[in-house]
Every structure is written in structure tokens, then in C-alpha cells.
Amino acid sequence: MEQRVLGVLFMAVSFGINWGAFAQQPNRRGLPVGVIAHRDLAYIKDGHERQKLDLFLPKQSAKPLPVIVWIHGGGWQAGSKENNPMLSYVEKGYAVASINYQLSQHALFPAQIEDCKTAIRWLRAHAKTYNLNPDKIGVAGSSAGGHLVALLGTSGDVKEFEGKAGNLEQSSRVQCVVDLYGPTDFSSMGLRHDQADSPVARLLGGPVPDNKEKAATASPVTYISKTCPPFLVIHGDKDNVVPVNQSTTFVEALKKAGVDTTLIIVKDAGHGGPNFTTGENGKQIERFFEKHLKSNVTDKKPLEGTTQVKDQPAPAVALGELAPDFDLPRLDPFLKGGSLSNALETVKLSSFRGKKPVALLFSSFT
């Protein structure tokens, strides 16, 4: 069959599309065989529509399961729990959760970290119901999600981030953190992140130069202490969205405090892409979780250093300054009828550049 390639340029201003709602409707990943899904579990009763999580379990388990929680990216203004690269860990003997949280258009910081902590407490409160091990909870996230998991790791004793509802008798501490290219110190992000229309400014409620105290409050580096859990930090050396020194400086501070920390710099990698959770990097993440969430596994410290990215796909979409880690949804809700609507495919949002809410979508049809 002959295939034709269609490039469609959409502008939110021209078409009046609500990008917030658009970004929250991604396709769901197919479930591996033998995995049970509990979807849209509200971790706050009668809360915001975003305060929900998905929980994936093996059909059978003889003992309580260690838990891996995925927190999505998207510049704190987009993204969804539906696209969870940790899902394969269910087949390796873990329970896997993926959470949504209020975005910056819904609420300013610290609402996002409060939601993440509330979700962790919910999992502990329902450990017996779902056969979870409440003492073995690890987190992973990328970009804005990397920021949130890093903050979960360093702010275990920060009561101001606990929120006011949802199983407050439970701990929100986590046992280990996988931070994929997340911002860790907003005061040193760089000039474009200091602008009034940046994702960081939208998160904080104003540009960093005018909100230095709040920027420090929202930065994971602020809370580093010797009580922090182990960290695995992975960052691309060609990241032009979140500078790689956000990770190198963060790791130096963690190590100085005596925290078990491993840094992997991915050579020639930009901001995002599947190579951060697959191949050699995927193996390092697996070893890290085995070491810290499975007590019967001997010490297998991930190998610190540099890994090589091979065949990394080029950026597919330009939408803003911080890359959302989710699959673009089908456009059927917006383009109804005709073969074009039925043929549109999803594309991976691996990275994007620019400041305007503009997306270039490529789809193929026969």
C-alpha cells in the first residue's frame, strides 16, 4: 500500500484548543499479560479530578509487593499518568503506580508536591488491600516529574509539604529515587527559565527573580540531608532544556551529605526520549530498584559514569520549554469524520523547544 505523510500544524491561538484538556487525554499503554489494573483511584476523597492514581499488580503474589511510583513530566502544565514507562516492572515482582497531580493552571506550588506526598500516603494506607509492602516504596520521574521525585526524596521531614487531607497518619517518605533530568535548583536554571512566561514562573506564580524565596522552597537541593534516601540520577549531556549541571551539582551536594547517590551522564542525549529507561540505562534502573526495594538481593550498585545514546529519535513536537513525557492523543475529538480522523497516529513527545503553544504533528495514512 502506498503511504502518504501528512504534516499538520496546529496553533492553540488560531483554533482555540484547550491544550490543558488536550494533554490530559493520551492513549493508554497496553497491559502486559498477567497484569491487573486498578485505574483512577482517588487518593483524596472528593478531590480535584487530577488527584487520582493508577495501580498495576500481578495477578498473584505470595508476599507483599515492593512499589514503584511513576510521576510524569510536562513542565508542571501537561502530561498524564496514562503513559508509564515503569509498567514492565509488574512482571518483575513489583506493584507499579502512576499518579496525576494538579498542574500549574489548576494550582500553584506547593500543590504538586502535596499531591505526590498524599498519593504515597494513600498507598501506605491501602497496603493490605492491595498486598503492598509499605516499607518498600520507590519513585521515578522525568523532567518536571524528576523535580517532584527529587523533592519527595529530599523533603521527607518537611511537614509544610504534607497538605491538609488524605491519610495524614501515614508517612510520605520514600525508600529510593530515580530522577531523570529533573530541575533541582530553580535559582540556577538560566535566563530563559527566569522569564515571566516560563513553566517555572507558572509553577511558582511569578518569575524566579521576583520570587527567590519561593524558588528556593520549591528546589529539592534546599532540603538535602544525611537522612535522604538513595538516589539514581540520569541526565543527558546535550540537554538544552534542563542544564546538566542541575544534576551534577545536585549529586555533589547529596554525596557531600553522605547520601548513597549514583550519577549517569548519557552522552549526546538531549531532554527526554526512550533511551533513558531502556537499554543500558534501563538495566541500571532495574539494578537500583532491586537493591533498594528487594531485600533478598545482594548489593549491586549501579555503575556511575557515562552511557551512550544510540539511534535517539529527533524531537517530534515543539510546544514549550519543558518537555512533556507523554504520547500525544489521537485528534479524533477535534477532527471528526473522514479517513483523516481515523488514520491519525500518536507520536512521542520526546522533547520540544520554543515558547509558543504550537505543535507540529506528523501522521501517516493510506
Chain segment 234-293, per-residue pLDDT in tens: 999 999 999 999 999 999 999 999 999 999 999 999 999 999 999 999 999 999 999 999
Alpha-carbon distance of 200 to 194, in angstroms, equals 8
**Residue 8 placed within a domain:** no
What average pLDDT does this structure show over 224-235? 98
* Mean pLDDT across 322-343: 36
pLDDT at 318 over 50: no
Give the angle subtended at the CA of 71 by the CAs of 96 and 273, to the nearest 5°.
Answer: 100
Asked, for residue 25, whether it belongs to a domain, the answer is: no
The pLDDT confidence band at residue 32, using thresholds 50, 70 and 90, is confident
pLDDT class of 19 with cuts at 50, 70, 90? very low
Q: What is the CATH number of the domain that holds 278?
A: 3.40.50.1820
pLDDT score recorded for residue 251:
98
Mean pLDDT of 99-112: 98
Nearest to 307 by CA among 250, 237, 255, 244: 237
pLDDT at 342 over 50: no
C-alpha 182/C-alpha 149 separation (Å) is 9
Domain-located, residue 234: yes
More confident residue, 157 or 299: 157
**C-alpha grid cell, residue 115:** 499531591
Residue 318 lies in a domain: no
The mean pLDDT of the chain is 81
Least confident of 12-16, 54-58, 254-258, 348-352: 12-16
Domain count, the chain: 1
Please report the pLDDT score of residue 5 as a whole number. Answer: 34
* 158 in any annotated domain: yes
- As a whole-number percent, the residues of the chain with pLDDT over 90 amount to 70
Answer whether residue 209 shows pLDDT above 60. yes
Q: Are 54 and 39 in contact (CB under 8 A)?
A: yes
The proportion of the chain whose per-residue pLDDT surpasses 70, expressed as a percent, equals 72
In a domain? residue 342: no
CA angle 78–335–358, rounded 5-degree value: 40
Is 328 inside any structural domain? no
Query: Mean pLDDT over residues 95-112, rounded?
Result: 98
DSSP H or E segment with residue 85: none
- Please give the average per-residue pLDDT across 2-12, as a whole number: 35
pLDDT exceeds 60 at position 54: yes
Beta bridge partners of 348: 327
Domain that includes residue 217, residue range: 30-308
Q: Could you tell me whether strands 132-142 and 95-99 are parallel, antiparallel, or unpaired per DSSP bridges?
A: unpaired
Residue 272 in domain:
yes
Distances (CA, A) of 216 to 81, 99, 208, 209: 27, 25, 9, 11
pLDDT at 294 exceeding the cut of 50: yes
CA nearest 81: which of 50, 125, 60, 105?
A: 50
- What pLDDT is attached to residue 191? 78
CA 52 to chain centre: 15
